[in-house]
Chain A
């Protein structure tokens, strides 16, 4: 694994606009950054990332299997009791899951360590799937990078294929909250994929979802929503006004609600409890577990629910530091052994491995100048070249 500086394509911003990549810069700062790329060997990708990702996914399923039959686990995950049976039924009905991203600390040697699993609403999808792919093709064509490079990225093909396998009859609604260009961009990309999979689509805002006299969800045209892809966290949905209508609504949600068990950082504590010593896992405990003391006075404290690295505390020799402040943490915390992201001349890359329908399907590298990857991290493309 190397970080290699490279010339940018002069026209990359125009290319981005042409490909519908509207959020390549955030608040004026570049988010897409092609001034460098990461180079991996095929063995690093296959043995250290691809294979462990699918193995970890199976361990995750074992955690869900346990959680749905153990109310104590659901309580520790701070999942509202009113929805326990809805979650259990969703798992027992084997509702299909769509995609997710596991984030690792990986430096090219030794086992990649799972930091967290964004199983419910991961973004960075479009830029991983499309723009990173376009960069690879053009960078080779223009001799910016060596010939014969490959990329861990079959996302686009897998996404279109997976959407076609949901058995969706009638339109697929896709919804996200208004106000985030990144969220809208992700949903617009998935809508495009759904159409390529032969589906009819309706794009809408989560705020515009309505409820009808029979307790079914409706879109702005008053059509009943049979299937919705929602880029909106389950823990938020379940805490809002319309939550009480969800179990009886007959709407099929993508991701299914059982994924709320995986998008919860308590997952990492449960995985360690069940598979202690697994090479890809870090010692992790619920913060109120007496065993948490075994981590000593250097560890990372994370809210059960947190996004964009917010409210994650690095505790070093007992001194706590929060790098990205936020409003998360009311539901409880986990503590995780500190395992620093690798340092490439002051850049700290996190390797996000994509799963589509539970199969490893690609990777994105996001770099931050701090040890906690936040929403100001930059997306750096990667290549595979032996």
Chain B
């Protein structure tokens, strides 16, 4: 047979949308506000607490949401809850990001599979819950917990955009790319 045995469309097709609406599986994770909280947890080894904390702390500056004004950052994360990021805009201005409010790691009891250790944040719109750097809700449980699989993924790098629109000029004069 020279043709695909089957075809399927997830989002484009009206008829199989139900497939994407299924509930996401949850995975085991552990959440702590700081290193000492983790060290106090009987279920976690000291070395692991330290290693995962360091990993989250190292990622913080790269993955935290970025703002070009402190005001904008504080509007999302609260007064006094933002710090200067170790980056500068091209014109030499400062870049701001929220403080790291906790960290998430894989659960030691489930073999730590699949959960990327990462920093957590709290926003003013949902102050009771931890959120990942990609703004996925983690919940408010300290210690062992469960999170949606999509939440456990490594957060994306966040930057601050200094300009847009540097691509696309030719499409405006030529139209479709259809080759």
Q: How large is the interface on B (under 10, 10 to 19, 20 to 34, 35 or more residues)?
A: 35 or more
Query: B34-66 CB contact bits vs A (8 Å, 1 = yes)?
Result: 000000000000000000000000000000011
Which residues from chain B contact A171 at a C-beta distance below 8 Å?
156
Which residues from chain A contact B10 at a C-beta distance below 8 Å?
192, 195-196
Query: B138-171 CB contact bits vs A (8 Å, 1 = yes)?
Result: 0000000000001001101111111111111111
Task: Give A356 Cβ to nearest chain B Cβ, in Å.
Answer: 11
Cα–Cα distance between A45 and B1 once the two chains are bound (Å): 12
Interface core residue of B2, B87, B172 (most chain A CB under 10 Å) = B2
Which residues from chain A contact B156 at a C-beta distance below 8 Å?
170-171, 223-224
8 Å CB contact of A213 from B3, B88, B165, B167: B88
8 Å CB contact of B159 from A123, A136, A188, A224: A224
Q: Is residue A375 within 8 Å, beta carbon to beta carbon, of the partner chain?
A: yes
Check A307 against B177 for contact (C-beta < 8 Å).
Answer: yes
Which B105-159 residues have a C-beta within 8 angstroms of A? 150, 153-154, 156-159
- Stretch of A63-71, A232-240, A271-279 at the chain-chain interface: A232-240
Which residues from chain B contact A358 at a C-beta distance below 8 Å?
none
Check B12 against A213 for contact (C-beta < 8 Å).
Answer: no
Nearest neighbor of A207 in chain B, beta-carbon distance: B168
Query: A117-136 CB contact bits vs B (8 Å, 1 = yes)?
Result: 01011111000011001101
Nearest neighbor of B164 in chain A, beta-carbon distance: A210
Task: Give A123 Cβ to nearest chain B Cβ, in Å.
Answer: 4
Cα–Cα distance between A237 and B10 once the two chains are bound (Å): 30
- Given A150-B1, A153-B4, A218-B161, verify A213-B87 contact (CB < 8 Å): yes
Q: How large is the interface on A (under 10, 10 to 19, 20 to 34, 35 or more residues)?
A: 35 or more
Nearest neighbor of B1 in chain A, beta-carbon distance: A150
Cα–Cα distance between A130 and B173 once the two chains are bound (Å): 31
Which residues from chain B contact A130 at a C-beta distance below 8 Å?
7, 9
Q: Is residue B22 within 8 Å, beta carbon to beta carbon, of the partner chain?
A: no
Check A177 against B3 for contact (C-beta < 8 Å).
Answer: no
Which residues from chain B contact A178 at a C-beta distance below 8 Å?
168, 171
Check B3 against A153 for contact (C-beta < 8 Å).
Answer: yes
Which residues from chain A contact B25 at a C-beta distance below 8 Å?
none
- Given A45-B2, A192-B12, verify A212-B159 contact (CB < 8 Å): yes
Interface of chain B, main secondary structure: loop
Q: Is residue B21 within 8 Å, beta carbon to beta carbon, of the partner chain?
A: no
Check A150 against B3 for contact (C-beta < 8 Å).
Answer: yes
8 Å CB contact of A177 from B5, B95, B150, B168: B168
- Given A123-B177, A123-B178, A150-B2, verify A206-B11 contact (CB < 8 Å): no
Cα–Cα distance between A191 and B162 once the two chains are bound (Å): 27
Which residues from chain A contact B7 at a C-beta distance below 8 Å?
129-130, 133-134, 156
Task: Give A384 Cβ to nearest chain B Cβ, in Å.
Answer: 6
Which residues from chain B contact A121 at a C-beta distance below 8 Å?
177-179
Query: A169-208 CB contact bits vs B (8 Å, 1 = yes)?
Result: 1110000111110110000110110011000100001111
Which residues from chain A contact B87 at a C-beta distance below 8 Å?
212-214
Check A20 against B9 for contact (C-beta < 8 Å).
Answer: yes
Cα–Cα distance between A123 and B178 once the two chains are bound (Å): 5
Nearest neighbor of A232 in chain B, beta-carbon distance: B177
Query: A2-28 CB contact bits vs B (8 Å, 1 = yes)?
Result: 000000000000000111100000000
Check B12 against A188 for contact (C-beta < 8 Å).
Answer: yes
Check B168 against A195 for contact (C-beta < 8 Å).
Answer: no
Nearest neighbor of A159 in chain B, beta-carbon distance: B4
Which residues from chain B contact A47 at a C-beta distance below 8 Å?
none
Check A200 against B2 for contact (C-beta < 8 Å).
Answer: no
8 Å CB contact of B162 from A210, A241, A384: A210
Residues of B within 8 A of A (CB): 1-5, 7-15, 65-66, 87-90, 95, 150, 153-154, 156-179
Sample of 17 A–B contacts (CB below 8 Å): A123-B178, A134-B7, A169-B154, A176-B177, A179-B172, A180-B175, A182-B176, A205-B168, A206-B171, A210-B163, A211-B162, A213-B89, A236-B169, A240-B169, A241-B166, A327-B174, A362-B3
